[in-house]
Amino acid sequence: MEIKLTLAVVFLCISMISATAVSNISSEVNLQSVWNHIDNIDSQISNLQDFDKYIGSKLAMNKNGINILNNALQHFQETSNKCIEKTDSLTQKYEILLKKYEALAAKTLTAKISKPKHCQSGWFPYMNSCYILMKEEVDWFQARKWCRNNQAKLVEYRDMDELNFVLSKAKSYRNWDTDRWAGFWVGADDLQSEGVFKWSSSHTQVHFNYWLPTQPDRLAWEEDCMQTLVNKKGEWNDLPCEMKLPFICEKYM
């Protein structure tokens, strides 16, 4: 009985020892696996740290770029503000000048309206000139001299309006012969260059054409001085300067 018990105990011990050995082997395997996992995790942590550094460097680059953009934006805003200030200043100056111009224009208009067209006795006004019709018949040179002695010139036409006005006055101030060649001296001649009629005071070429058809014709003898025909519509004719005609002087107010 004791032997059987002893054997049983021995068998039990052997079994326990075997079980323990098997258990130890299994634990070593698990521990190795854990170490492998830990290594793997270390490797991943290292990778993550590298990635973090990479991200950090990218963030630093982006931050630098943002700073550059912020500086550029600030510079743009400052420039923009200066432009706005400059524009405001120019607008104010423009408004001041505009008011001055308007005031000046109003003054000029008032002066024009209020200023009477004043001419000496015997002279009649038109636009900014005064005119006088001299009924005495003299040659063209005497007529020019008389006008000059009175701070005037033989009449010169700026345009057809002036001519028509002067003609109407000439007709109303004097009884004219019914002769078709009746007329008065005008301040235009071709004394310097035959055929080239110029205004006598400025020596500029006559700038519009109102010659009677076929004129200037230089007929009879040399015809170097211009007359205005009163029994027509004020057309021009060239005449010998020595002929004697009434004349009209013009001077600025």
Task: Between 190 and 250, name the residue whose CB sits nearer to Ca ion.
Answer: 190
Q: Which residues pair with 198 in a beta bridge?
A: 189, 205
List Cα–Cα distances, 206 to 9, 90, 173, 197, in angstroms.
156, 46, 26, 6
Min dist. Cβ of residue 174 to Ca ion (A): 22
CB 243 within 8 A of CB 130: no
C-alpha neighbours within 13 Å on the C-beta side of residue 48? 6
d(CA 138, CA 243): 7
Task: Between 162 and 222, name the residue whose CB sits nearer to Ca ion.
Answer: 222
Task: Between 129 and 215, name the residue whose CB sits nearer to Ca ion.
Answer: 215
Min dist. Cβ of residue 243 to Ca ion (A): 11
Task: Between 50 and 217, name the residue whose CB sits nearer to Ca ion.
Answer: 217
Task: Between 88 and 194, name the residue whose CB sits nearer to Ca ion.
Answer: 194
For residue 249, the Cα-to-chain-centroid distance in whole angstroms is 43
Min dist. Cβ of residue 191 to Ca ion (A): 8
Task: Between 165 and 211, name the residue whose CB sits nearer to Ca ion.
Answer: 211
∠ at Cα 101 (88, 127), nearest 5°?
Answer: 160
Min dist. Cβ of residue 109 to Ca ion (A): 45
Min dist. Cβ of residue 137 to Ca ion (A): 18
Min dist. Cβ of residue 223 to Ca ion (A): 5
Question: Coil, strand, or helix at residue 159?
Answer: coil
Task: Between 119 and 191, name the residue whose CB sits nearer to Ca ion.
Answer: 191
List residues binding Ca ion (CB under 5 A).
190, 215, 217-218, 223-224, 237-238
CB 164 within 8 A of CB 170: no
Q: Tell me which H or E stretch contains 225.
A: strand 225-229
- R_g of the chain, CA atoms, integer Å: 59
Q: Which amino acid is at 179?
A: D
Min dist. Cβ of residue 165 to Ca ion (A): 24
C-alpha neighbours within 13 Å on the C-beta side of residue 15? 6
